[in-house]
Amino acid sequence: MEQIKSPLAARNVPPGLKSCVIHGYDNWHDAIAEGRHDFFTKLTPHLAENGLTPFLAEGNSRASRALLTEDHFHLIVGGPAMYGPTILHAFPSYLWGFWYLDELGHGYNSSLRFARYSPQYSPDTADREAAEYFFNGVTGYMLRENISKLRQEPRLDAPLRIATATILCQLTETDTPGSHYLSTEQMIDTAATFDREALVYVKPHPEQSKKGRRRIVEICQNHPNVKLTDASIHDLIQAARVVITQNSSAGFEALMQKKPVITCGKSDYWQATLTPRTVAELHAAIEAGPETMASFDYEGYFHWFLEQQCLEPAKANFLPRAWARIKDKLLLS
């Protein structure tokens, strides 16, 4: 794969849909160049074999911005959501090993935010058995090995004390305006006052800044029943009656334990959560969450979201599925 090392090098990319420009933003440029992700080490030779010469550009560089105005196929990695007739976004999904290849973005910007989910598999069918096998395999491994998108503290030998809620905080400094319906303070205050005698766990983001963490500590200090903790999310989720976040990947991980998840922001996994937009709605979701979500088809949803909507580079069907999406985007025969 050829790298674009300077703005002038943009002239070396031939015009037309014979080139695939991979725009690697932030650390993604070096990670792709060094071959650290099988998504790209497998996909780029396949692109070349099918007439799309891959080039790698540093996202948001002058070369990258110039190329985005030209008639190439563009693969955005770790960049902002953008739409174009020849643009797809590649990015890891909520669980390692599964990737987006999406025309709008990743996370709450992905096209899955506009998708509807309904239980697909009836009991006692082969499809149902496949969904349960997939769910148990993925979740069993991650919970047993304490695996998450970000590093976690070791699992505890004994379960934590049961809590009304576990609140999984996000990086407040990087909040995108309009992506959250309720603030961290509103989530903590509402959960804490729902039952003042019951425990509430609050876990800061593992990469939270000192300033952001101080703010969370100040909020928690207003409520004697709130415990700030850095324990593994898997232990904290296990102990919670409900899990509350805005649109964190950790909220998706809570689905592995079939917990009622409350997302107080835009997300593309809202189909499996309750999504309040006001404090009153959040209070109602905390109260009714376990009953409302008691019959939700978590196995079917995981199979639908990860197995059917995302791509898995480790699987033999990765290249045919990825190429099918690219062909569909470029209207190739």
pLDDT confidence bin for 130, thresholds 50/70/90 = confident
Q: Give one word for 53, left, alpha or beta, with left for phi > 0 and alpha for psi -120 to 50.
A: beta
pLDDT at 118: 82
pLDDT at 8: 36
How much of the chain exceeds pLDDT 70, in percent? Answer: 91
**Do the Cβ atoms of 278 and 117 come closer than 8 Å?**
no
pLDDT tens track for 237-248: 999 999 999 999
Dihedral of CA 319/322/325/328: which sign?
negative
Which band of pLDDT confidence, cut at 50, 70 and 90, is reported for residue 257?
very high
- Residue 143 parent element (H or E): helix 126-145
Lowest mean pLDDT among 7-16, 23-32, 246-255, 323-332: 7-16
Mean pLDDT score, 225-253: 96
pLDDT for 128 equals 84
- CA 42 → CA 28, 76, 204, 229, 330, distances in Å? 16, 17, 36, 40, 20
Confidence of residue 7 (pLDDT cuts 50, 70, 90): very low
> Closest by alpha carbon to 150, among 262, 252, 246, 59?
252
Residue 173 predicted with pLDDT over 80: no
Higher pLDDT, 127 or 235: 235
* Rounded Cα distance, 310 and 141, in Å: 19
DSSP secondary structure code for residue 58 in this structure: E
Cα–Cα distance measured from residue 22 to residue 58, given in angstroms and rounded to the nearest whole number: 8
In the predicted model, what is the mean pLDDT of residues 61-72? 91
pLDDT band for 16, please (50, 70, 90 cuts): low
Between 1 and 118, where is the model more confident? Answer: 118
Write out pLDDT tens, residues 293-333: 999 999 999 999 999 999 999 999 999 999 999 999 887 64
Q: What is the pLDDT of residue 5?
A: 46
**Residue among 99, 262, 78 at smallest CA distance from 188:** 262
Contacts of 311 (CB under 8 A, 6+ apart): 39, 98, 99, 100, 101, 318, 321, 322
Residue 126's pLDDT is 72
pTM: 0.91
| Domains located in the chain, CATH noted | 2-116+310-330 (no CATH), 124-304 (3.40.50.2000)
- Angle of the 38-49 helix axis to the 318-330 helix axis, nearest 10: 60
Question: Which residues, including other chains, have CB under 8 Å from residue 168's CB and lie 6 or more apart?
Answer: 203, 233, 236, 243, 244, 245, 248, 250, 251, 254
Question: What pLDDT shows up at residue 3?
Answer: 64
